[in-house]
Structure 1
């Protein structure tokens, strides 16, 4: 399945452009540029984005439900409307103890 950007100049409701899929993490590209990207992500209950380290800061905003965010082995629970910035070069993972949706924004500029 091709992951293309959301149509520009068209109004949309962010929580409605991505659906839950049983036993899956679904990623929908909002904007993708060489300097960064914005994605909408849905997690079914029990799903995990495994531990990784990104060379860039990542802004996470929960738009539906509740998520567990682990940064350098420190766990925080975020609920609808809450946000966090995962610092560049930090070990991190995202867990769905219940299903949720989020927006992820990665800004690649400023690290040259």
Structure 2
């Protein structure tokens, strides 16, 4: 059997992605599903008021909101993203994520190889 690239997730099982991370008071909880030179896939649960301050990534980052809504700032422009919606944060552009209320997201970052 070949080595699995995905980790921390059940195989051959129907899953509710939002249930794979739990809210914790005053914290950002993460669960890494893949981390390598080409791609990173991580689930996050943000408690109200938590944030990741402005930073840049070497890869394009696709955010998909699983639960709640998030404030995302890209190059100084603010967006409100609701459950079921997504946005791409381009590589090399400053971006930040903030929780006005609890929310969960699936973050997929694709890196140049």
Report the TM-score when normalising by structure 1: 0.89
How many Å apart are 1:20 and its aligned residue? 0.1
Q: Is 1:54–2:57 an aligned residue pair?
A: yes
Kindly state the Cα deviation for residue 7 of structure 1 after the two structures are TM-superposed: 2.9
For each residue in 1:30-85, what CA deviation from the matched residue of structure 2 results, as whole angstroms up to 9, or x when unmatched? 22333111111000000001111111100000010010000011100000101000
SS in 2 for 1:42: strand
Gaps of 5+ in 2: 1-6
1:10 corresponds in structure 2 to: 13
Work out the CA distance in 2 between the residues paired with 1:13 and 1:75.
29
Residue aligned with 1:16, SS: helix
The CA RMSD over aligned residues, in Å, is 1.2
Structure 1: gaps spanning 5 or more residues: none
Q: Which runs of 4+ in 1 moved over 3 A?
A: none
Q: TM-score, normalised by structure 2?
A: 0.88
- Tell me if 1:35 matches 2:42: no
1:81 to 64, 81, 84: 84
Given candidates 92, 96, 102, the residue that maps to 2:95 is 92
